[in-house]
Amino acid sequence: MTKKILIVDDEPNIVISLEFLMKREGFQVAVVGDGEEALRKIAAFEPDLVLLDIMMPKKSGFEVCQEVRANPAWAGIKLIMLTAKGRDTEVQKGMALGADAYVTKPFSTRDLVIKVRSVLGMDAVA
């Protein structure tokens, strides 16, 4: 079965690449641009994994993360945080709030794909 990935980021220029990349890797992909929309989309789209940017309008990635983890129905959803801030306080906060992995921008697309697959429990290469 095709795994579903939700990309949450307000920067179109990264979204284009991420969307293309994930589609090419054979995932089913949906895209939203802010935190509030993300929560609605998670309910509707039921993704296996969310690529979550932290700095976003309306609701931050941290808040989305915390709300996802607060809902037992969404316990299976994997969360990978993407951030332009590289401070380790933030990394710790993200992991503490229940993220499965944390990726600091800029990242290598190959590493991101590997990380996504490993978080989803898939083989490293398609």
Residues that bind other proteins (CB under 8 A): 11, 13-14, 16-18, 20-21, 24, 55, 62-63, 66-67, 84-90, 92-93, 96-97, 104-110
Identify which of residues 34 and 67 has a Cβ nearer to other proteins in the complex.
67
Identify which of residues 24 and 46 has a Cβ nearer to other proteins in the complex.
24
C-alpha neighbours within 13 Å on the C-beta side of residue 86: 4
Structure tokens at 15: 């979204």
Q: How far apart are the first and last CA of the chain?
A: 13
Identify which of residues 16 and 43 has a Cβ nearer to other proteins in the complex.
16
CA distance 100 to 96: 10
Closest contact distance (angstroms) between CB of 107 and other proteins is 6
Closest contact distance (angstroms) between CB of 13 and other proteins is 4
Pairing outcome for strands 4-8 and 49-53: parallel
Identify which of residues 4 and 11 has a Cβ nearer to other proteins in the complex.
11
Read off the DSSP letter of residue 72: G
CA distance 80 to 53: 9
Closest contact distance (angstroms) between CB of 4 and other proteins is 20
Closest contact distance (angstroms) between CB of 62 and other proteins is 8
